[in-house]
Structure 1
Amino acid sequence: MRLARRWIIGSTCLILVGLLHFVYWDLVEVFDIEQSESSAPIELLWWTRHMPWVYDEVRRCGVFECRVTNKRKRLASARAVLFYGTFLETGDFPLPRSLQHSWALLHEESPKNVAYAPFDDFLQHFNFTSTFSRYSDLPLTTQWLPSAHDLISMDYTMSFDFKSSNLNVASPSVVFLNSDCDTMSGREHYMKELMRHINVDSFGSCLHNKDLPASLQKDYMDNLYSPKLLRFLSRYKFMIAIENAVCEDYITEKFWRPLVVGVIPIYFGSPSIRDWQPQKKSAILVKDFPNAAALGRYLMDLSENKTEYDSFRGHKLNRSHPIQNEKLLHNLITYPYHMGVPTPEGSLIQVFECAVCKYATYRGPIRRANARHYNCPLVPIYAPLESKKEPNSLAHWRSAMKVGQCQARILKTFFSSNKPYSEAQFAAELNPRIAEDRC
């Protein structure tokens, strides 16, 4: 009887403690929201000096509010410091770093332009990240897909018969549109081999053999989804979709744009691309073929087979169930950013700012990023060549990544010492290591 009474008393106490716990945190959240409404907003400082905009304004993000500025004199007041990856400078970081400063990194590009970005020695100093990796805090994996509607819309989709009757395009009707010609993925080397086996219309500066219509020549690189360009591309059966680098979840317009216009992408890039196809069979994967000759033979056969060709276009032609990939559907529903949002509030910069604003307001235990937040192989991967040789450019990129690893290690040392340093001091550490092959 006495044990039963103690059990009842103990259980009641646990329930009361639990209730008090939830009430306490509810009160804390209400108090914080009221504080954010009644007191000065916390500050976020863009440290990147080369961003083409200058501002100092209050950003409202739902119940959260932050002052966003790029005035460096506000560093002491900032709760978070924001960095734009493409414009990072190895000698320009805000040191000494205060305990109140969270560092947030926005970097949607491959390591082609920031060779030290993939390394844990560098990434571990950031508390919040937004990259193409699904493991970052604000993933940008599907950023280049304007919307789910664009995947299933028939606005630009042409029938197999119409594509086949397009006498201005040689069989098997393949388009290549690239002007970034020295890539980590060996794109140009693979295309040289493929173009020995099939006709490819190459309109960019890489392996150029045809000119775009005059109306598209001026600014097609700045208008990747212009209606004129989409209509022009839609007449082809296949489009080369080889990324400039191979990283998990690094997926650009190269993959999404042909899907939007009803053209089959010939894809090489993200090893996890099957996770993002609208249906199980939406793209032809270069890695499924031993070499370009085998791929060329397959394209010639497929270009004459209407049933098999259209089986790759289920997201357009299966009107009852066009997107069968549950992971992609979930991402499209819950994803906070895609380039199709036309309002300033829908821009990548403002979405990133709001995500950091929320994190900085309720940051809780200190978080640290790691290599998975960028999730890129440290040795460049290239498309398989018939010659069985490495692309000529691979030695350059392998060396660049080795230097990047060296840069990351030196940055870690400077960050850990937490003292200001200059670009000249950084170079004084880096150059001897490169000269003596100590990277």
Structure 2
Amino acid sequence: MSCFSVFLTFKIKHFLALVTLLSLALLILNLTSFRRFSSEINAVEFDVQIPTILWWTPFTGENGVLKNCDLGDDFQASCFFTNERKLYQQTKALLFYGSSFNAWELPPRNPKRKRPLWALLHEESPRNTALLQHESALSLFNFSATFSRHSDLPLTLQHLTSLEDLVGHEFLQSWQSKVQFQKKEGLAPVVFIQSDCDTSTDRDSYVRELMKYVKVDSYGSCLQNKMLPESIRDPMSALHSDEFWRFQSKYKFSIAFENGECLDYITEKLWRPLVIGSVPIYYGSPTFQDWLPFKNSTIDVRDYKSPKELAEFILMLDSDEERYNQFLEHKRQSPERFSSELLLHMLAERKWSVGEKLWNNFETKSLVEVFECYVCQRVHENLKEGESVVKLNHYECPPPVSALTKTTLNNSFWFEQWHQGQFEAQLVKELVETGKVVTQDEFYEIVGQRMVAKRKKKK
């Protein structure tokens, strides 16, 4: 055998031995983790002082973790959080994520056992979970963390990092700069950047009409007439980048239409223009003005009879530097001067962080962590059944209305979904109360039958 063959044989044996050692190490590590998880479960099972809280709709990816909660207010306690449904019988509270709530996959009813407390987390609008727009379903929950100010843990400001962002000048362009962008780069006074072209506010119909009277640069998939620079063309990676924000800040006005009209449902569509200094042309939450730094920080679409009338106002501001800059008053004032006490109070009381404040500081908590600890606190308070119930104002979304015609979209998919949600919500409540189990197909079959019966009764 040649020296090379001997050397190669030695190397292969050495490599195989190393692989074996690594495999053994991983096995030991997995066994250790399993034993740690098992010991935590056993510890919880025999320690009634540590309640078990189950994510019925798995959300955090944690099979089991013991958390020490400290939310201030002299509250400190521990709870065991898990997504293992096999621990359901010892669970004190169930956590649900709204978008993952399935009416045909409900927790089993045990007549001999008090029903665990239910808590709902949903930062989104209910466009994909229509039943949550109705009180029959909401009343099944004891606590909520939603976009509403009336929620137990309000998430209204989830898209606003801080007050400092509202007054900051990092992205702010002067009036003179914006005028030059219009002249040299051929920019329109108004920008529209959307890729969701079918919304319950009939957004595109309004913007299409507005474009007849004022120049609008439309990027994204909806009513597109311009292409974004290639470096920020991918919305998933670019939407929150500094480059994207600087690009949008060149425009005097930004169309900011929400996907829905739920009370207090306010997203980055409003906050981003306010932060970068592009005046929002806003349509969405009927209560949005309660949260503005100043009442004239935005142009409210509802104040104008038609897109034509709105366009006339935009064109007037486009040529009037003094009046335009009045809409950027928040960039010239300190937060203490803001007119919205609600905005100041909610940010001061917020125990969770978002954006860079969360990413760059390991000591801050996410809204999910604070939600878990809030429920942990309420469990330790030994609430009695019915003592806390989620009400409609925790998630208030009226039937869909067209921004253009200002009438209910009776014949639209969105209205049909909202209407169907009423029947779904009632059926879910019945299933929880009776313990009856149905499949997905059976659930929608029952809902369909009831909707047909209701229509026949009306005739």
Please classify the TM superposition score into its range, dividing by the shorter chain length.
0.7 to 0.9
Aligned residue number for residue 401 of structure 2:
381
Q: Which runs of 5+ in 2 are unaligned?
A: 1-43, 71-75
CA distance in 2, matches of 1:266, 1:325: 19
Letter in 2 for 1:353: E
2:66 is paired with a residue whose SS is strand
CA distance in 1, matches of 2:154, 2:455: 34
Rg larger for: 2
Q: 1:53: how far off? A: 2.6
1:376 is paired with a residue whose SS is coil
Q: Cα 1:39–1:75, aligned 2, differ >3 Å: closer, same or farther?
A: closer
1:297 is paired with a residue whose SS is helix
The question of whether the paired residues in 1 share the 8 Å contact of 2:400 and 2:408 is answered with no
Aligned residue number for residue 84 of structure 1:
97
Aligned residue number for residue 242 of structure 1:
257
Q: Does 1:430 align with 2:447?
A: yes
CA distance in 1, matches of 2:68, 2:160: 26
Q: 1:361: how far off? A: 1.4
| Farther-moved stretch of structure 1 (142-151 vs 424-433) | 424-433
Aligned residue number for residue 352 of structure 1:
371
Aligned residue number for residue 135 of structure 1:
150
Q: 1:217: how far off? A: 1.3
CA distance in 2, matches of 1:195, 1:54: 49
The question of whether the paired residues in 1 share the 8 Å contact of 2:104 and 2:437 is answered with no
Q: 1:169: how far off? A: 5.2
The question of whether the paired residues in 2 share the 8 Å contact of 1:279 and 1:314 is answered with yes
**Equivalent position to 1:405, from 422, 427, 440:** 422
The question of whether the paired residues in 1 share the 8 Å contact of 2:281 and 2:301 is answered with yes
The question of whether the paired residues in 2 share the 8 Å contact of 1:171 and 1:300 is answered with no
Q: Cα 1:222–1:417, aligned 2, differ >3 Å: closer, same or farther?
A: farther
2:128 is paired with a residue whose SS is coil
CA distance in 1, matches of 2:388, 2:200: 31
Q: Tell me the matched-pair count.
A: 397
Aligned residue number for residue 12 of structure 1:
none
Q: 1:381: how far off? A: 2.1
1:221 is paired with a residue whose SS is helix
Q: 1:222: how far off? A: 4.9
1:328 is paired with a residue whose SS is helix
Q: Cα 1:55–1:322, aligned 2, differ >3 Å: closer, same or farther?
A: farther
The root-mean-square deviation of aligned C-alpha atoms, in Å, is 2.3
Deviations 1:290-314 (A, max 9, x none): 0101111110110111111110111
CA distance in 1, matches of 2:96, 2:408: 35
Aligned residue number for residue 55 of structure 1:
63
TM-score by length of 2: 0.81
Deviations 1:264-298 (A, max 9, x none): 00001111111000012100000000010111111
CA distance in 1, matches of 2:422, 2:380: 33
Aligned residue number for residue 26 of structure 1:
none
CA distance in 1, matches of 2:225, 2:179: 21
**Equivalent position to 1:178, from 194, 199, 219:** 194
Q: Cα 1:70–1:438, aligned 2, differ >3 Å: closer, same or farther?
A: farther
Q: Does 1:41 align with 2:54?
A: no
- The percent identity for this pair of structures is 38
Q: Does 1:105 align with 2:120?
A: yes
| Farther-moved stretch of structure 1 (341-350 vs 98-107) | 341-350
1:165 is paired with a residue whose SS is helix
Query: Equivalent residues in 2 for 1:68-79 (5 A)?
Result: 68-79=81-92
Letter in 2 for 1:397: W
Q: Cα 1:223–1:353, aligned 2, differ >3 Å: closer, same or farther?
A: farther
**Equivalent position to 2:389, from 368, 380, 385:** 368
Aligned residue number for residue 79 of structure 2:
66
Q: Cα 1:394–1:212, aligned 2, differ >3 Å: closer, same or farther?
A: farther
Query: Equivalent residues in 2 for 1:390-401 (5 A)?
Result: 395-401=412-418
Q: Does 1:198 align with 2:206?
A: no
Letter in 1 for 2:219: F
Q: Cα 1:413–1:100, aligned 2, differ >3 Å: closer, same or farther?
A: closer
CA distance in 2, matches of 1:320, 1:43: 42
The question of whether the paired residues in 2 share the 8 Å contact of 1:132 and 1:250 is answered with yes
Q: 1:383: how far off? A: 0.8
Q: Which runs of 5+ in 1 are unaligned?
A: 1-34
- Specify which structure has the higher proportion of helix: 2
CA distance in 1, matches of 2:382, 2:249: 47
Query: Equivalent residues in 2 for 1:155-166 (5 A)?
Result: 155-166=170-181
Q: Cα 1:400–1:332, aligned 2, differ >3 Å: closer, same or farther?
A: same
Q: Does 1:294 align with 2:309?
A: yes
CA distance in 2, matches of 1:169, 1:437: 58
CA distance in 2, matches of 1:168, 1:401: 47
Q: 1:180: how far off? A: 1.2
Q: Cα 1:337–1:438, aligned 2, differ >3 Å: closer, same or farther?
A: farther
Aligned residue number for residue 28 of structure 1:
none
The question of whether the paired residues in 2 share the 8 Å contact of 1:184 and 1:394 is answered with no
Q: Cα 1:111–1:319, aligned 2, differ >3 Å: closer, same or farther?
A: closer
| Farther-moved stretch of structure 1 (330-339 vs 295-304) | 330-339
Letter in 1 for 2:383: G
The question of whether the paired residues in 1 share the 8 Å contact of 2:205 and 2:404 is answered with no
Aligned residue number for residue 133 of structure 2:
118
Aligned residue number for residue 276 of structure 1:
291
